[in-house]
Amino acid sequence: MKVTPFEVYTTYLGMKNHFTREKYDFIKYGGKTRASVDSFNKRRDRYFFERMSRKKDDDEIVNYFIANFISCEDPGKMWIGEIIQNGETNFKEWQRRNQSLSYLFGDEVERIFTRDNFDSYFHTQGQHPKILKSYLRKDISLETLIILDKILGFAQHLDKRLLDPVWSTVSLKIKKYSPFLNIDVLRYRKILKEKIQ
């Protein structure tokens, strides 16, 4: 179903709130924001939202903004100009990863877990664990990191042990993106077991 430019704008604001505010939940609140048509009409970048309303339908708009907010290092510092410039590239890359998610997961875990002992990736001794370093080096995708967390539940433990801005940003991204990733945990657990044995 096609959306209006104002609806694209409110979806953008809802997603920005979702990925930057701990207490805001896009799904729970249905993407509702306090934006007004007047504030939208005063924006200089209004043409972008008008163009997006013609190009994409409702579901695509949500996925488009998810793809863009997870692709940046810190969603709190992302501005609309980055989305205008790199939005389509980020969206296509996100679609590619999600269409081959089980293959991507298997490939990435096989690559990183053959280097060292599996358990060593999740331990911290006053520094970032190897699993976080692997993500920051882009050896693994955010999707793989989230699937591993759904299987192993390591993020909660790291939240208690790592009190630094790098982990806080990644942890918030994991929490906020996770509800949008519908995966069969048993299937991915099986893939993980096959790859690390």
The encoded tokens of residue 137 equal 């080096």
Cα distance between residue 52 and residue 155, in whole Å: 35
| Confidence grade of residue 122 (pLDDT, cut at 50, 70, 90) | confident
pLDDT tens digit sequence for 68-93:
999 998 888 888 999 999 999 999 99
Sequence ranges of the chain with CATH classification 1.10.8.60: 5-98
Cα distance between residue 72 and residue 83, in whole Å: 10
At residue 155, the pLDDT reads 92
Range with lowest mean pLDDT among 3-7, 42-46, 74-78: 74-78
Does residue 115 carry a pLDDT above 80? no
CATH 1.10.8.60 applies to domain 5-98: yes
Of 123 and 15, more confident:
15
Q: With beta carbons less than 8 A apart as the criterion, state whether 112 and 122 touch.
A: no
Does residue 106 carry a pLDDT above 80? yes
Does residue 5 carry a pLDDT above 90? yes
Does residue 120 carry a pLDDT above 90? no
Percent over 90 (pLDDT), the chain = 77
State the pTM of this model.
0.91
pLDDT tens digit sequence for 13-42:
999 999 999 999 999 999 999 999 999 999
Does residue 179 carry a pLDDT above 90? yes
Sequence ranges of the chain with CATH classification 1.10.220.50: 100-196
- Return the exposure string of 116-126: e unless at least 16 CB atoms fall within 10 Å of the residue's CB, then b: eeeeebeeeee
Does residue 58 carry a pLDDT above 90? no
| Confidence grade of residue 184 (pLDDT, cut at 50, 70, 90) | very high
100-196: CATH, from 3.20.20.140, 3.90.1300.10, 1.10.220.50, 3.30.1780.10: 1.10.220.50
